[in-house]
Amino acid sequence: MSEDQAVSVNDRLRLVTEGEFAGWSVWQSDAFEQRAGPFYEKFDADGRGRCAFRAQARHMNGGGFMHGGCLLTFADSAIFTLAREALGDHHGVTVNLSGDFLDSARVGELIEATGEVTRGGHKTIFVRGLATADGRPVLSFTAIIKKMGKRT
């Protein structure tokens, strides 16, 4: 993504202004996610988080289907969008991520994740979600995030 296609929302999150993901935001502070994705996020009118990316050939395994590690990396990224409100002003780390592969994803499909916080405590946040490929369920996931120090 070029600098003219995104504007800074803060020093790490950029709003995409052109292309398929115009109106979505993308994190600039996680080099691994940028190489794996990039993964985009937005919040619906009801405040629920949604994440997405377009499947490319580089996301596929030797059989021509999306690599499971790519889907799990996407889910690991998505849980922090889904838990944004519960995290508040804290950083967080994933302490558990489990997934059930439901179907395969292919090049060109829109991969999206939605979900919810099932329990948000003082130190831990429990999240569950579903990733789809062009609307077809491909991964069901659950995760636990541990709250860390406050953001500066």
Give the DSSP letter of residue 151.
P
pLDDT top residue among 112 and 9: 112
pLDDT at 4 over 90: no
Where are the domains positioned within the chain? 3-150
Question: What pLDDT was estimated at residue 35?
Answer: 84
Predicted confidence (pLDDT) per residue in 59-115, tens digit: 999 999 999 999 999 999 999 999 999 999 899 999 999 999 999 999 999 999 999
How many helical (H) and strand (E) elements, i.e. helices and strands, does the chain have? Answer: 3, 9
**Tokens 């499909």, located at residue:** 109
The conformational region for residue 47 under phi > 0 = left, psi -120 to 50 = alpha, else beta, is left
Give CA 132 to chain center in angstroms. Answer: 12
Query: In the chain, what is the greatest distance between 2 CA atoms, to the nearest angstrom?
Result: 44
Q: Model-level pTM?
A: 0.89
Residues 123, 144: Cα–Cα separation, whole Å: 10
> In this predicted structure, what is the pLDDT of residue 60?
97
Residues in the chain, how many?
152
Among 21, 26, 24, 23, which residue's Cα sits nearest to residue 10? 26
In which residue are the tokens 């292919």 written? Answer: 106
Mean pLDDT, residues 29-47 = 88
pLDDT at 137 over 70: yes
Has residue 123 got a pLDDT over 80? yes
Residue type for position 61: N
Query: Would you state the structure tokens that stand for residue 49, as one six-digit string?
Result: 């988080």
Least trusted range by pLDDT, from 32-41, 51-60, 87-96, 138-147: 32-41
CATH number of 3-150: 3.10.129.10
